[in-house]
Amino acid sequence: MALLEREPSLAALADYADQARHGEGRLVLIAGEAGVGKSALLDQFAAHLASARWCWGACDGLFTPRPLGAFLDIAGQLWTRALGELLPRSRATVSFTVFGFRPLRERIRDTVLPALEPLPETVTVAEDPGRQRARGYYERGAIRIDVGPAGQPQEVGDGGFTDWTAQLLSDAKERCFISCISTERLAATVP
């Protein structure tokens, strides 16, 4: 299906993709009323940039949306794929911890984990209910990424939900998910 009057938007997306390919990270927000063709625009752009890796997430139009649902959709797809490709001969474990927020645990189990299937053989996702580190800094939930041979894993990544955006925007519904990865530790594990 040909899109009408979308050439400027497609050209801008192509320019951003080219910049990202050359090492300049980009985050693009596409906003608009329901039904104006945001998804159709991205579908057409993805078809013309088939060599790129695409991850898709969905936002809820519910009265009470799932916490950062679209981000969780994308983050899970990206991390498990990247770990499986980077570390074909090493084991990687992505652990998640929910700090007493039952809806998040349910969301991870009923939607995020099934969306990750099939996992690369070298990647395991597991709950770590006993984690206490960074509790209070992270709220509601956290992740950890360990890589290495069985019995000798090394932590290479960590992340979780914070309430910074809730405080800055004075909106209790706003959450921010932050993560970091030690590129030095990760590089040391790549054969």
In the sheet with 123-127, reading across from the earlier edge strand, the strands are 123-127, 91-98, 141-148, 154-162, 176-181
User: Is 10 a residue whose pLDDT tops 70?
Assistant: yes
Domain ranges within the chain, ordered by starting residue = 1-54, 67-189
Distance, in Å, from the CA atom of 168 to the CA atom of 50, rounded to the nearest integer, reads: 38
Long-range contact pairs involving 9-13 (C-beta distance under 8 Å, separation at least 24): 9/41, 10/41, 10/44, 10/45, 10/48, 13/41, 13/45
User: Is 67 a residue whose pLDDT tops 60?
Assistant: no
User: Is 71 a residue whose pLDDT tops 70?
Assistant: no
User: Is 62 a residue whose pLDDT tops 70?
Assistant: no
Distance, in Å, from the CA atom of 141 to the CA atom of 160, rounded to the nearest integer, reads: 6
Helix/strand/coil for 191: coil
Give the tens place of pLDDT for each residue, 105-156. Answer: 888 888 778 777 777 777 888 899 998 888 888 888 888 888 877 777 788 8
Nearest to 86 by CA among 53, 62, 64: 53
| Axis-axis angle for helices 7-21, 38-48 (nearest 10) | 50
Give the tens place of pLDDT for each residue, 144-189. Answer: 888 877 777 788 888 888 877 777 777 776 667 777 777 677 667 6
The pLDDT of residue 11 is 92
pLDDT tier at 34, thresholds 50, 70, 90: confident
The pLDDT of residue 93 is 83
Distance, in Å, from the CA atom of 23 to the CA atom of 107, rounded to the nearest integer, reads: 33
Residue 53 phi, psi dihedral angles, 5° rounding: -90, 125
